[in-house]
Amino acid sequence: MTQQRCNWVSSEALAQYHDEEWGVPSRDDQHLFEMLVLEGAQAGLSWSTILNKRAGYRRAFADFDIDKVARFTPKHVDALVADESIVRHRGKIEAAINNARAVQQIQAEHGSLANFIWSFVNQTPIQNEWASYKHAPASTEISDALSKALKRYGCKFVGSTICYAFMQAIGMVNDHETTCMCRARCVALGKKGRNRKAG
């Protein structure tokens, strides 16, 4: 039997990301922050471009340590704009630092970024059944609400479409195609997380 993947997987790097990470429920604040930054950086670019620069991003953004990134100064921004290992877009770089500070506020008020983010799906992943990934929406009412809530905390590059891609990436929504070999595992992981409080 051939192992079938979602039809958007078109390279080795995408296959690895798809098989190991995409759609797997994540409640780790550092990983959630990383995905928020990367999804924002992707705006107008391909996900392959971002994946190819992921190691550069981890090095440039202190491995996505929220408190460290929140302390970045304008000098850091100038250095990052010159760093070819990431997307050299001043607005996106400044947004990542700004968003780290917003996440600190969210953590202070909600206990963790995970508690806040996952509250939008009642702590339980949404399980979709798409025959083709092309049927998946670009945004939903939930991604609209998440986008608005993040913007209230001052987050940038968190429009509804970016938020929906973020939700897919961290497993808040399982958009693996019905024929995809990874779908069942993500469904099972979603059920496992249902009975415990995210903390």
**Positions marked active-site:** 17, 39, 47
155 is in an annotated binding site: no
Annotated binding-site residue? 163? no
Distance CA 154, CA 99 (A): 7
76 is known to lie in a ligand binding site: no
Whether 110 has a binding-site annotation, put simply, is no
The CA distances from residue 114 to 73, 120, 144, in Å, are 26, 10, 18
Sign of the C-alpha dihedral computed for residues 146, 110, 35 and 62 taken in this order: positive
Query: Which letter does DSSP use for residue 72 in this model?
Result: -
Return d(Cα 37, Cα 75) in angstroms, integer.
19
Can you tell me the distance from the alpha carbon of 148 to that of 160, in angstroms, rounded to the nearest whole number?
Answer: 8
Question: Could you tell me which of 126, 113, 129, 115 has the C-alpha nearest to residue 191?
Answer: 126
Residue list for the binding site:
6, 18, 176, 180
Residue list for the binding site for Zn(2+):
6, 18, 176, 180
